[in-house]
Amino acid sequence: MLSIYQLKPRFQNLLRPLVQRLYDNGTTANQITVLAAVISLLVGGLIALFASHAWLFALIPLWMILRMALNAIDGMLAREFGQQSRLGAYLNELCDVVADSALILPFALLPEVNLLLVLAVVLLALFSEYAGVLGPMVGASRRYDGPMGKSDRAFVLGVLATGIALGWLSAPWINGVLALVAALLVYTLINRVRKGLEEVQNNAPSA
């Protein structure tokens, strides 16, 4: 299933010189992980406090791009510079769902936007990531299958927020996009479970 996540290796190659400099300066993967979550909370909180000013939603696509870069950087620091740790694994997963929630919830404060749809997107994003994390528990890898993985959500929500900031999208359009995202998240959840089970079956020794 196609996903923006498949472009990650090319994105990492662009960031590699910066990652080397960060490592040389003593920056750790866990610091980057926590920093991304804290800024996400600040951005989400700022937009929520002043949701009546639609132009503030332009902060979401700008931050989404930087957040994707930080997510790639923390992974590269961990894998390529020997900074992997059990604490880092916890922080990586927990900070991601906290940041996602903080950046999605402000959409609920827009006039006539369906609160239940926003909550559904938040919960389904959490459930789909949980399904991916469960992979190692059944003998599979951590699953990142699409079509609505973390990078895909960042792209769609960034485009949606841009349309809101520019005044191009009315509430019915916003609700329609959120409903589509929710449906794709359900499919993503199912897809990650299915792919995880297939991986276990394919890796099982033949009788």
Q: Mean pLDDT, to the nearest integer, of 147-167?
A: 94
Has residue 207 got a pLDDT over 80?
Answer: no
Structural contact between residues 151 and 4, judged by C-beta atoms closer than 8 angstroms: yes
Structural contact between residues 195 and 145, judged by C-beta atoms closer than 8 angstroms: yes
pLDDT tens, residue by residue, 36-73: 999 999 999 999 999 999 999 999 999 998 998 898 89
Nearest alpha-carbon partner for 49 in 103, 99, 106: 106
Residue 196: count of CB within 10 angstroms of its CB: 23
The first and second tokens of residue 26, run together, are 């003593």
Show Cβ contacts of residue 189 under 8 Å, excluding neighbours closer than 6 positions: 124, 127, 128, 131
pLDDT value, residue 11: 72
Measure the CA–CA gap between 64 and 117, rounded to whole angstroms.
21
Task: Give the type of residue at 134.
Answer: L
Q: Mean pLDDT, to the nearest integer, of 184-202?
A: 96
pLDDT category at 143 given cuts 50, 70, 90 is very high
Residue 110, helix vs strand vs coil: coil
Eight-class DSSP state of 206: P
pLDDT value, residue 12: 76
What is the chain's mean pLDDT, rounded? 92
